[in-house]
């Protein structure tokens, strides 16, 4: 069955540390890839997305993600996190094969000031 | 302002008492869906709608109903709620899937507790 896996369920970092959150999917075919962020008490909002072209995608607030097709991965990165990045992060994958958008389990990021 | 609204935001109810959570979007999106969010499970799709009068089951449809009589509205109906439906519910809309613009716009969420 198609699935999206986020390896880290809970990440704790100090401010200025670098961040990398893993996301792997098991789909074939053409995929559209997303990272959403949910700040405490708020709804999900789009962080960045990849449809085609340059596999290194830049999003809002200094986040970026790299699509590695051979590894079925779309990892999220930020060189230096801030306390305000404390949130839950969701990877999502749309597959043309299935016509469905599937979300990963989410990763809770806690940044200590 | 482009937005998805949901009501109510918080709801505590008892087992078996029918309830409806409303969802409305003002972006003229064709595609709308309902998700539930549970700890450790992420977002799971309950139902989706490709357009007016076109609805289909998502991954966890049991115990839920939806309708799409108008393009802007997509209510979620729990005919006989049970405690295992206690969750955080999100409505979302988008231009896709089916087009190139697949970004989902989410509502603020409805926290439902069934006792």
pLDDT (tens digit per residue) in A87-101? 999 999 888 777 778
Using the 8-state DSSP alphabet, how is residue B45 labeled?
A: E
The verdict on a CB contact (< 8 Å) between A90 and B35 is no
CB A103 within 8 A of CB B43: yes
Q: Which two tokens stand for residue B25?
A: 């979007």
Give residue for tokens 């802007």.
Answer: B72
Q: Count CB atoms within 10 A of the CB of residue B62.
A: 8
Compute the nearest-CA separation of A44 from chain B (Å): 6
Q: Mean pLDDT, to the nearest integer, of B20-28?
A: 97
Using CA atoms, how far apart are residues B1 and B33, in angstroms rounded to an integer?
20
Q: Which two tokens stand for residue B39?
A: 């700890």
pLDDT interval class at B75 (50, 70, 90): very high
Compute the nearest-CA separation of A16 from chain B (Å): 27
Alpha-carbon distances of A89 from A40, A61, B74, rounded to whole Å: 11, 14, 26
* pLDDT given for residue B100 in this prediction: 46
Using CA atoms, how far apart are residues A46 and B88, in angstroms rounded to an integer?
19
Which of A46, A51, A103 is nearest residue B43 as measured by Cβ atoms?
A103
Q: Mean pLDDT, to the nearest integer, of B40-59?
A: 91
Chain B CB contacts of A46 under 8 Å are 103-104
Q: Write the pLDDT tens digit of every residue in A43-83.
A: 899 999 998 899 999 999 999 999 999 999 999 999 999 99
Q: What is the mean pLDDT of chain B?
A: 92
Using CA atoms, how far apart are residues B46 and B63, in angstroms rounded to an integer?
10
Residue B111 has pLDDT above 90, yes or no: yes
* Three-class DSSP category at A57: strand
Chain A CB contacts of B97 under 8 Å are 94, 99-101
Q: Write the pLDDT tens digit of every residue in A27-42.
A: 777 888 999 999 998 8
Using CA atoms, how far apart are residues B61 and B64, in angstroms rounded to an integer?
6
Q: Which among A112, A113, A109 is positioned nearest to A39, based on CA atoms?
A: A109
Q: Which among A78, A72, A74 is positioned nearest to A91, based on CA atoms?
A: A74
Give residue for tokens 């069934």.
Answer: B114
The verdict on a CB contact (< 8 Å) between A94 and B104 is no
* pLDDT given for residue A91 in this prediction: 95
The verdict on a CB contact (< 8 Å) between A104 and B103 is no
Q: Mean pLDDT, to the nearest integer, of A92-111?
A: 87
Beta strands in B26-95 (DSSP E): 31-38, 42-51, 54-57, 65-66, 76-78, 87-94
φ/ψ of residue B83, rounded to 5: -55, -30
pLDDT interval class at B98 (50, 70, 90): low
């Amino acid at each position: 069955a198609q699935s999206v896996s986020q390896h880290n369920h809970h990440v704790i970092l100090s401010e200025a540390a670098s961040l990398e959150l893993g996301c792997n999917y098991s789909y074939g075919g053409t995929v559209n890839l997303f990272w959403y962020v949910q700040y405490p008490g708020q709804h999900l909002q789009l962080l960045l997305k990849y449809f085609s072209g340059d596999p290194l995608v830049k999003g809002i607030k200094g986040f970026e993600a790299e699509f590695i097709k051979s590894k079925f991965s779309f990892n999220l990165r930020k060189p230096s996190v801030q306390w305000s990045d404390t949130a839950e992060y969701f990877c999502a994958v749309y597959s043309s094969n299935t016509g469905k958008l599937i979300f990963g389990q989410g990763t809770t990021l806690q940044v200590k000031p | 302002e482009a937005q998805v609204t949901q009501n109510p935001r918080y709801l505590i109810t008892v087992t078996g008492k029918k309830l409806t959570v409303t969802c409305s979007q003002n972006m003229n999106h064709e595609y709308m869906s309902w998700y539930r969010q549970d700890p450790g499970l992420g977002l799971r799709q309950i139902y989706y709608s490709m357009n007016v009068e076109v609805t289909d089951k998502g991954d966890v449809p049991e115990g839920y109903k939806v309708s799409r009589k108008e393009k802007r509205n997509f209510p979620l109906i729990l005919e006989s709620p049970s405690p295992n439906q206690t969750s955080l519910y999100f409505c979302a809309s988008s231009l896709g899937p089916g087009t190139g613009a697949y970004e989902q716009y989410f509502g603020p969420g409805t926290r439902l507790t069934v006792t």
